[in-house]
A and B are shown apart, each in its own frame.
Chain A
Amino acid sequence: MTEKKMKFSISEEKRQILLVEDDIINREMLKESIGNAYELIVAETGEEALRIVRERFETLSIVLLDLNLPGIKGIEVLRRIKSDPAYAGLPVIVMTSDSEAEVECLTLGAIDFIPKPYPPSEVILARILRTVELYEDKNTIRWTERDHLTGLYNKEFFYHYADQLDLYHKDVPTDAIVVDINHFHTVNDRYGKAYGDKVLKCIAGNALRLINEAGGVVCRCEPDMFLFYCPHRSDYEEMLNQLSIVPKGGDSGENHVRLRMGVYSDVDKTLYVDRRFDRAKLAADSVKGNLANPIGFYDNSMHDAEVMEEQLIDDFPTAIKEKQFVVFYQPKFDVRGDTPVLCSAEALARWKHPKLGMVSPGVFIPLFEKNGLIQTLDRCVWSEAAAQIRDWKERFGVSVPISVNVSRVDLYDPKLIDKLLDMTEKNGLKPDELLLEITESAYTENAGMIVENVKQLRKLGFKIEMDDFGSGYSSLSMLSALPIDALKLDMQFIRSAFRERKDTRLLEAMINLSHSFDVPTIAEGVESAEQVSVLKAMGCDIVQGYYFSRPVPANEFEKFVAEKKEISACS
């Protein structure tokens, strides 16, 4: 070992021992026996011993305690050390000639005895060394198996203990439960980290009480997530209520901490423990944001969906390679004139899965948005759409701009602009022939950066359509600041406006507002002639929906291109 390392090494550091002994002969003997191996701190009275423990317990390795002390007796010193949680873990070796005192000392928490008269020096040394090693090993295990803030197990040890429980209670129905704190980071932000820590400790305390009553194990596995593995129960609501008792934050005196719970009830013990908790987590996530019903239960449909998702993720690379994703096109008609005129199309991905058949985009799009695969899919669709615009231009002599979806994750790609330019250039297109649909929600997160990127795209000539407007949270006043060329009203928004008790006032207000900013509106999901005429009367510019056509493959779409060619030729 190098000299530097010797100087800054825990293993080479002399351990400190507190020797509590009033008799000089005994003291001197012990100093000679162990003084070379350990740094001895001497106390001659009980009072002095307690003071040193209070001040230096963190660096003390062991206490050698004589029972017969002047003032506070040794047994009382032992009792006080063991009753204070701060240093109760400090090992105390009692030195006595009184064998009757041994039981009491052991009950109070003494770890060992050194009899009087003393055994030979080397025996004392060996006993102390062994005790220090055990204490340090125990401490190391305690530190590695526990979460430092709450004192609960960490995930690895928790899984290990859950396995142990299974071993001894094979036939006992058991639940895997995940408890999550909703928006915990905002609790920290609003009331400070100290309050956040207090909340976590309090929930941990509540959890331990529950486990002490009902059995099982509990851990904190993420900053704001607790796992329970306990005998099957049915009072989950009561459990959640008990866990939710935490100190109030802020001046309002209200409890702002909301928990949600995911239950995988009566688990399948043939599954690995971590898989059981994946299921409970899935159940917890199913009620995310649902304050009215914060307890989710894992069931077979979740399992089926999970299996399906895993299969789709596994199959994705092959699907890209084998071109299983097909681009469909849905026309958009300009309805401002007497006759609707095709003005563009929206490119929509469809997955022709060799085993599952046609997979709904409602299934794979959210999944790929979640895991980032959407970026690869988007690239394929853009490339296909750009090639299609060129093909129609070449064969029909007319340009039909196509809008493609640009996902939020695409907007974080520093090479996005280069890639789009490359695609348009390669196909001999002007940037305004490839329309970019960006969802409203993409603007709400990291708005500054997104807005800057979008401005850059517009400067280069790309046209931006804000997709799903009305489904997100952006305020109408934001419209003036956003760089967009068209506003696409959310399909659900249109549908609810035309539902039984037709109330189109809000729709009309939005179209008017959009016009006041000189931004044309596009209504999607339009299904009937009546809807078209109402929207037209309100001033809506462009309409897309089943009324004109469902999304169709490129060859079927060509009839619209041919019509457009004819109209162009006539005019």
Chain B
Amino acid sequence: MLTIEKLAEYGADVEKGLSRCANNEALYLRLVGLCIGELSSCALGDALKNRDLDKAFEIAHKLKGGVSNLALTPIAIPICELTERLRNQSPGDHESLYNEIVKERAALSALLA
């Protein structure tokens, strides 16, 4: 079961995340759960694989909003970096960033158990 302690252990800045939810722990945890669901179901990997970078940017930008506001720092860092790269259409290693996102997503999902 997802708890504040587990999230803090994971590396989330729970204090910041909670402050954006008016310190409502239940809401915060519910939103993190929603966010993990979005991360799992999104088509970011497919968009990158198909080189549909506009679509990839759109998805990454949306994910960035959620993870940043919830202060899920370990996954927020690679998502933000990928978003900026896609926004600026910078060439580079999208795949390794995506792999990091997948790794962090797995770590987050594990917290649900």
Q: Tell me if B27 and A28 are in contact (CB < 8 A).
A: yes
> A1 near B: Cβ within 8 Å?
no
Flag whether B19 is at the interface (Cβ < 8 A). yes
| Contact present for B19 and A26 (CB under 8 Å) | no
Which chain B positions have C-beta within 8 A of A24?
Answer: 34
Mask for B63-81, Cβ within 8 A of A = 1, else 0?
0111011110000000000
**Chain B count of residues within 8 A CB distance of the other chain:** 22
Q: Are B22 and A97 interface neighbours, CB within 8 A? A: no
Query: Is B31 part of the contact surface with A, judged by Cβ < 8 Å?
Result: yes
Give A450 to B21 CA distance when docked, in angstroms: 79
Assess whether B20 is interfacial by the CB under 8 Å rule. yes
Residues of A within 8 A of B31 (CB): 25, 28-29
Evaluate contact between B68 and A121: CB separation under 8 angstroms: no
In the complex, the answer to whether A116 meets B19 with C-beta atoms within 8 Å is: no
Contact between chains at B24 and A25 (CB < 8 Å): no
Could you tell me the distance in whole angstroms from the C-beta of B76 to the nearest C-beta in chain A?
8
- What residues of B have a CB within 8 angstroms of the CB of A33 in the complex? 20-22
Is A530 an interface residue when CB atoms closer than 8 A count as contact?
no
Contact of B65 among A28, A32, A97, A120 (CB under 8 A): A97
How many pairs of residues, A versus B, come closer than 8 Å at their CB atoms?
Answer: 55
Is A117 touching B62 in the complex (CB atoms < 8 A)? no
Q: Which positions 92-131 of chain A face chain B at CB distance < 8 Å?
A: 97, 116-121
**In the complex, A160→B35 CA distance in Å?**
57
Q: Would you give the 0/1 interface string for B20-42, flagging 1 where the beta carbon is closer than 8 Å to chain A?
A: 11111001001100110010000
A117 near B71 with CB under 8 A, answer: yes
A119 to B24, CA, bound (A): 15
A25-B65 in contact given A32-B21, A32-B22, A121-B20 (Cβ < 8 Å): yes
Asked if A383 CB lies within 8 Å of chain B CBs, one says no
Q: Is the CB of A121 within 8 A of B65?
A: no
Nearest CB of A to B4, in Å? 16
In the complex the two chains form, what is the Cα distance from A114 to B62 in whole Å? Answer: 17
In angstroms, Cα B20 to Cα A32, docked, is: 9
A268 to B61, CA, bound (A): 66
Q: A25-B34, A25-B35 are in contact. Are A120 and B20 (CB under 8 A)?
A: yes
- Bound: A460/B65 CA distance, A: 96
From B16, B23, B69, contact of A25 by CB (8 A): B69
Query: Are A121 and B69 interface neighbours, CB within 8 A?
Result: no
Q: Taking the complex as formed, is A286 at the interface, i.e. its CB lies under 8 A from any CB of chain B?
A: no
Which listed residue (B20, B30, B61) contacts A118, Cβ 8 A? B20
Flag if B21 contacts A29 (CB, 8 Å): yes
A residues near B22, Cβ cutoff 8 Å: 32-33, 121
**B34 touching A29, Cβ below 8 Å:** no
Residues of A within 8 A of B23 (CB): 121
Contact with B along A417-448 (1 / 0, CB 8 A): 00000000000000000000000000000000
CA distance A25 to B22 in the complex (A): 14
Given that A29-B31, A32-B27 are contacting pairs, would A68 and B61 also be in contact in the complex, using a CB cutoff of 8 Å?
Answer: yes
A residues near B (Cβ < 8 Å) are: 23-26, 28-29, 32-33, 68, 97, 116-121
Q: Supply 5 A–B pairs (Cβ within 8 Å), ascending by A.
A: A23-B65, A25-B34, A25-B38, A28-B31, A117-B71
Interface residue ranges, B against A (CB under 8 Å): 16, 19-24, 27, 30-31, 34-35, 38, 61-62, 64-66, 68-71
